[in-house]
Amino acid sequence: MSLNDLIRLRSLKSRLIVWVFMPIALIVAVDLVGTYHSTEQIATTIQQQLLHGSAKMISEQLVFSDGGYEISVPPAAFELFENKFQDHVYFSVRSKDGKLIAGDDELAAYEESLPIEEERYFVARLHGEVVRVIVFAHALPDSSTGDYAITQVAQTLLSHENFREGLFFSAIGRHLLLLAITIASLVISLKWTLSPLKEFSRELLQRQSGSLEKLDGYNAPSELDPVIRALNEYVERLNRTLSSYEKFVANTAHHLRTSFAIIASQINFAKRAKVHDQVQREVLDAIQKTLGDCTKVINQLLVLASIEQQDAASADDVQISEIIMAVIDEMAPLAYQKHIELGIDVFDDSVRVAAPARLLHELIANLIDNAIVHMGKAGEVVISLRRQTDHVLLSVTDDGVGIPPALQQKVLERFFRIDESRAGSSGLGLAIVKEICDRLKAQLSLHTPASGAGLQVDIRFPLSVKAN
């Protein structure tokens, strides 16, 4: 999947992931902000309670004696704060006019008014550290004057922060676990849910390229039903189009062949007439030859039109040597006319190839015809057939003018001719060979033979599974 696809959410997977994962992530984020605040609150409340307990314990020890106040601070008031974080704790007890009775002077007197038996909390700086401070007003014992003392206890924030962080990190941990479980189950469920889709596309890919059978969706999930229905409708339309195309080809073929048959009879009739001068005879021969060339092109075009229609599945398991022999018999007179010796070299006549016999015949006929027509001089055309480890190799070699390497791919195109003026060439022969090879999954290669002159065409057929 490319980044572009991801951005445009081309894939169902990314859509699902985005639309399930994103909201969950958002909820988690919002919840984490709330959790942060509540952990701060919890930690602060706990520290305040400790401060409150300590302040109460200290102030309760305040006694009036000898006209002044005395206090003996109990160790328990500081033991309350004991923990591994080694927080600094400070305290001060002052009279209502701000006179320090006991404790640290650095804890400044509380300036604002404070009702008796009430406390205030605030945060201040002491010795360069941030501390939370409790201010507690405590009515003095044995005092009828409404006198009171102000106790302050301060603690640095180390344990408070550690406690808060502990709470928060454990919350983050739980949230991450939740997200991980969500992603994992998303991935698993997507894989599981989308597997029929994959299976379906694999089945589609495995179909024969010419297959116009309808799909049956009996084991596909119901969500695919509309897709299968649409595909089937498309197949039906394609089928109708193809059959009208086939009809068109058949009608054209019928019409052209009938017309050519008329012209052939007319020429035959004219040639049989008694009165002829030399020119007339030459013209009639020329027309007859042109008619032969036209017939060849029409037949080649019809072969091209029918290659796609040929059902490769109906492949016969054929002894290819028999077809080669039949083609050699057909081609021998043409080769003789062009002073070309036709023959075989290494020839394993036991090999079999799985292919429709008609296609093989067209393939070999066009191959040999092409070699004969394009020799350009007297020479030889040699056919060899051998079995190699994993294929059957058919080679047709001539010692003619050859094809320059730069044009060896070009000549496989329909109607491409190196020499436009050459008679008997339609520019279709090798195109037919190429297209039939593609249809039969055979490999076609053109090169200059070892002798250095001419053309060698190699065709490698897959071995027939049944035989060989």
Q: Which of 370, 354, 352 is nearest to 362 (CA)?
A: 370
Q: Can residue 26 be called a binding residue for another protein (CB under 8 A)?
A: no
Minimal distance, residue 11 CB to another protein, in Å = 47
Closest CB to another protein among residues 19, 336: 336
Q: Can residue 243 be called a binding residue for another protein (CB under 8 A)?
A: no
Minimal distance, residue 16 CB to another protein, in Å = 53
- Helix ranges (H only) for 61-155 are 76-79
Closest CB to another protein among residues 149, 385: 385
Beta strands in 238-351 (DSSP E): 316-319, 340-347
Closest CB to another protein among residues 129, 380: 380
Query: What is the H or E stretch that residue 376 is in?
Result: none
Minimal distance, residue 269 CB to another protein, in Å = 6
Q: Can residue 284 be called a binding residue for another protein (CB under 8 A)?
A: no
Report the residue from 265, 280, 290, 388 that binds another protein according to the rule CB under 8 A: 265
Judge contact between 443 and 392, C-beta under 8 A: no
Q: Which of 218, 213, 220 is nearest to 235 (CA)?
A: 213
Q: Can residue 428 be called a binding residue for another protein (CB under 8 A)?
A: no
Report the residue from 272, 277, 279, 466 that binds another protein according to the rule CB under 8 A: 272
Q: Can residue 115 be called a binding residue for another protein (CB under 8 A)?
A: no
- How far is CA 134 from its chain centroid? 65
Q: Can residue 249 be called a binding residue for another protein (CB under 8 A)?
A: no
Q: How distant, in Å, are the alpha carbons of 110, 135, 208, 265 from that of 89?
A: 17, 14, 86, 126
Q: Which of 104, 101, 96, 109 is nearest to 70 (CA)?
A: 101
Binding piece for another protein, criterion CB under 8 A, among 39-47, 89-97, 333-341, 415-423 = 333-341
Cα gap 466→464, rounded to integer Å = 6
Q: Can residue 254 be called a binding residue for another protein (CB under 8 A)?
A: yes
Report the residue from 109, 167, 227, 263 that binds another protein according to the rule CB under 8 A: 263
Residue 124's DSSP bridge partners are 131
Minimal distance, residue 321 CB to another protein, in Å = 11
Q: Can residue 335 be called a binding residue for another protein (CB under 8 A)?
A: yes
DSSP code of residue 144: S
Judge contact between 364 and 384, C-beta under 8 A: no
Minimal distance, residue 423 CB to another protein, in Å = 15
Closest CB to another protein among residues 370, 384: 384
Under rule CB under 8 A, which residues in 351-380 are in contact with another protein?
357-358, 380
Beta strands in 340-390 (DSSP E): 340-347, 352-355, 379-388
Report the residue from 199, 322, 329, 413 that binds another protein according to the rule CB under 8 A: 329
Minimal distance, residue 388 CB to another protein, in Å = 20
Q: Which of 410, 397, 385, 403 is nearest to 449 (CA)?
A: 397
Under rule CB under 8 A, which residues in 296-315 are in contact with another protein?
299
Minimal distance, residue 245 CB to another protein, in Å = 17
Helix (H, G, I), strand (E, B) or coil at 343: strand
Taking CB under 8 A as the rule, which mask of x and - marks residues 374-413 in contact with another protein?
Answer: ------x-x-------------------------------
Closest CB to another protein among residues 125, 272: 272
Q: Which of 284, 297, 307 is nearest to 257 (CA)?
A: 297
- How far is CA 314 from its chain centroid? 34
Cα gap 209→308, rounded to integer Å = 9
Judge contact between 160 and 47, C-beta under 8 A: yes
Closest CB to another protein among residues 234, 245: 245
In sequence order, the 6+-apart residues with CB closer than 8 A to the CB of 118 are 136, 137
Q: Can residue 141 be called a binding residue for another protein (CB under 8 A)?
A: no
Judge contact between 434 and 440, C-beta under 8 A: no
Residue entry with tokens 């490698």: 460
Closest CB to another protein among residues 52, 387: 387
Report the residue from 16, 325, 412, 418 that binds another protein according to the rule CB under 8 A: 325
Residue 125's DSSP bridge partners are 130
Report the residue from 220, 224, 264, 304 that binds another protein according to the rule CB under 8 A: 264
Helix (H, G, I), strand (E, B) or coil at 309: coil
Where on the chain is the footprint of another protein (CB under 8 A)? 250, 253-254, 257-258, 260-266, 268-269, 272, 291, 295, 299, 325, 328-329, 332-333, 335-337, 341-345, 347, 357-358, 380, 382
